[in-house]
Chain A
Amino acid sequence: MIGVLLIAVSSVQALQRAVGDCREGRFVEAWAAAQGAASPIERSCAETYVRYHAGDLEGALQAAETGLTLNPRDEYLNPTATELALTLRVVGSAARHLENWQRECPQTDEARCTRLRQELQGQREAESALLAAESRAKWGVLAGALLGVLGFFGLLGSHRSTSGRG
């Protein structure tokens, strides 16, 4: 699917070769082909594609973000960067790329866009739950430690005062 999209946005032979090599499992050759791309943006697209399929998701996201600085309207890089950021759970980055995709490319694939939006929402909720859990834990520890220390010195003090009276 992504391969078809990529081929659609670029007819450059180097990119086609990179896609073909990836399909054959020849990633070294695919990478070399990507380096021979005609323009920096095409090179970014090809690098993103090769790294994505080679399982280097962080590298693919980095390549996609480099490409988006060159062409923020790229129809392959915007959704791909969103998907990669969601896979890597980098919520802020995913939100930025999704928003950029919707703004810069009004003719987007609506079904894909809706799916990514839902996934982003799910990750935001999970992140809020995590922050809430962390906050509960911190306050719980603080309250418990305070209670323990106050209780300790309170009891110690009460013992001393009795001894004094005694």
Chain B
Amino acid sequence: MDAAGPSRAAWILIVALSSGAVSLILELSAVRLLAPWFGATSAVWTHVIGVILLALSCGYLLGARLSRGPRLLRSLGIVLWLAAASVAWLPALARPAAGALVPEGLALDQAAGVLRWGSLAAALMLFAPPSLLLGCVAPLASEVLQRRSGCTAGEAGGRVLGVSTLGSLLGSFATTYWLVPELGLTRTYLACACALGVLALTVGLLARRWGIESAAGLIVAAALLGSRWERPSPGAGCALLEQRESPYQSVRVVERQDGEVRLRFLQVNEAFDSFQSVWQPEPGLLPEGYYYNALALPAAWDARTQGRWNLLVLGLGAGSVWRVLQGTLPPELRLEGLGVEIDPVVVDCARTWMGLTESPDRRVVSGLDARAVLSMAGRFDQIVIDAYANQIEIPAQLSSREFFAEAGEHLEPGGWISANVGAFGLQDPVVEALAATAAAGLHSRVLALRVPFSRNVVLIARPSGVLPEPGSAEFLAITPARLARLGSQASLPGMWRWFEPRMEPVATDDRNPIERLQQASIELAERRTRETR
């Protein structure tokens, strides 16, 4: 055993620190890379973490096997070069890999199999190779340290694990707060590849060997020029206006002509036929099939003609609800209130492209969770919950009995609460659970209305007032005429359903099976379609 100088030992520990950091950067950014095709649900997180853990465990064993060889530094150098190359090409490989698993133009009701198996397969294809290689680093580094410094295996392993875990800690904070929001995904991966390449180069200099290393170095260099991440295309007839990465998601604004109306859509992580917000040049009711129109029904039933309508929107997006109400409220009834949007980039895009404006009476709060803001908010005539993103990602903290109870406490006497749910009919398990939960939390019956020409259901409750019966004169005699038409469509048998306070299942903060119900909902819709083949 030759004695290693302190500088060489330090280098080995820096290698371990960096590989630990890159492992965590990969793990945390992986879902972001896949989200445009598969969403960012708990299932996708589970698949990504599972794949990375399996690959790391194999990598540790492979590293242990390699550490038996005589040329440790060379093995370490090769592993680092290959890891750098596989990380560098991740941005470019994401679209072809995900594209092979998610056909273009897929609807959500066809997507159950793709969401489940596709996200797992994509995680395997993209993240198993770099994680396997990074797993090799720790055993090799431990062996180098032990052989050269003469310390015990436990001592060497402990030092390597200590700095590698510290690297993981740094990597996790850096990914969330700096790398992905500031650099974006492509540059994050390329920066990781460069860091690994520099370490590999240094290890190569120590080993004084060049072979596979040169080839891998060229692959990394080529990636710097050609590896770029591309999201799914916006679809035929859609013009892309802006596309950005936020700390939470990928955001884009697209525009298309719909008959005579020019519409803009704000989309987040979208590979399916869905959107988060819609804009048309004039405020008011959108064309048929957009659920925002149904969120204007409570104000019409309330029949107030002057004063103010104080509205809280949890999940403001680009402010579609505001614009729809702004154009439908009577001229003397002023729209005021608060809009909560967790993602500041969404708000920025909305200001630029979708006419979102604020005033002292109508404010936007961004960067905070809707439930946290709710606890600090005042009282409102109407609370709209439009935070069930992508129709497959319903936050558990915004779908529990306790949440609805808290929301109810922020209503003015006679106030209304309404929520949009992406679902496949009134018997959908997600609708049943959310409506029963809302009824339990608000101690009030909840009316579920299917939105005509769409796959959305709007839930409406009025805890301290009367909610009109579908088809009744109070339900139908509203203005403007197009809203009355919507009321009439929603009054047909099969378009509405009452949920009473004692119905089941009720989700709580302690036990909320909403993720499982969403998967069940998509599977049910898929089965219905396939049964008739």
Interface residues of A (CB under 8 A from B): 25-28, 31, 50-51, 54-59, 85, 88-93, 126, 129-130, 133-134, 136-138, 140-141, 144-145, 148, 151-152, 155-156, 158-159, 162
Contacts and interface: CB of A to CB of B under 8 A. Distances in A.
A48 to B, nearest CB: 12
Contacts of A126: 103, 105
Question: For chain B, what secondary structure do more than half of its interface residues adopt (helix, strand, loop), or is it mixed?
Answer: helix
Given A137-B113, A162-B68, A155 B491 contact: no
Contact of A136 (B57, B100, B484, B528): B100
Closest 6 CB pairs of A and B: A55-B452, A155-B61, A92-B533, A25-B485, A137-B117, A144-B124
Given A56-B495, A89-B109, A89-B110, 12 more contacts: A27-B485, A28-B491, A55-B451, A55-B452, A129-B103, A130-B113, A137-B114, A144-B51, A148-B55, A151-B62, A155-B62, A159-B61
B37 to A, nearest CB: 11
Contacts of A148: 54-55, 58, 128
Interface of B: 51, 54-55, 57-58, 61-62, 64-65, 68, 100-103, 105-107, 109-110, 113-114, 117-118, 120-122, 124-125, 128, 288-289, 425, 450-454, 471, 476, 481-482, 484-485, 488-489, 491-495, 528-529, 532-533
A136 B103 CA distance: 12
A54 B471 contact: no
Contacts of B125: 140, 144
Contacts of A93: 532
Contacts, number: 126
Given A141-B120, A159-B64, A28 B492 contact: yes
B425 A58 contact: yes
A130 B453 contact: no
Contacts of A59: 492, 494-495
A126 B58 CA distance: 38
A90 B529 CA distance: 5
A46 B476 CA distance: 22
A26 B104 CA distance: 38
A28 B472 CA distance: 10
A68 to B, nearest CB: 14
Contact of B494 (A56, A145, A158): A56
A28 B65 contact: no
A2 B501 CA distance: 43
A133 B100 CA distance: 6
Contacts of A31: 492-493
B269 to A, nearest CB: 19
16 contacts: A25-B482, A27-B492, A28-B471, A28-B488, A55-B453, A59-B492, A136-B101, A137-B117, A137-B120, A138-B121, A144-B124, A145-B54, A148-B58, A155-B61, A155-B65, A156-B61
Contact of B289 (A25, A55, A58, A92): A55
A137 B107 CA distance: 18
A54 B118 CA distance: 36
Contacts of A133: 100-103, 114, 118
Nearest to A144: B124
A23 B529 CA distance: 31
A58 B451 CA distance: 12
Contacts of B57: 152
Contact of A130 (B103, B288, B491): B103
* Residue from B54, B122, B491 whose CB has the most chain A CB atoms within 10 Å: B54
B390 to A, nearest CB: 19
Contacts of B494: 56, 59
Contact of A140 (B65, B114, B124, B532): B124
B481 A25 contact: yes
Nearest to B452: A55
Nearest to B288: A55
Nearest to A155: B61
A97 B133 CA distance: 56
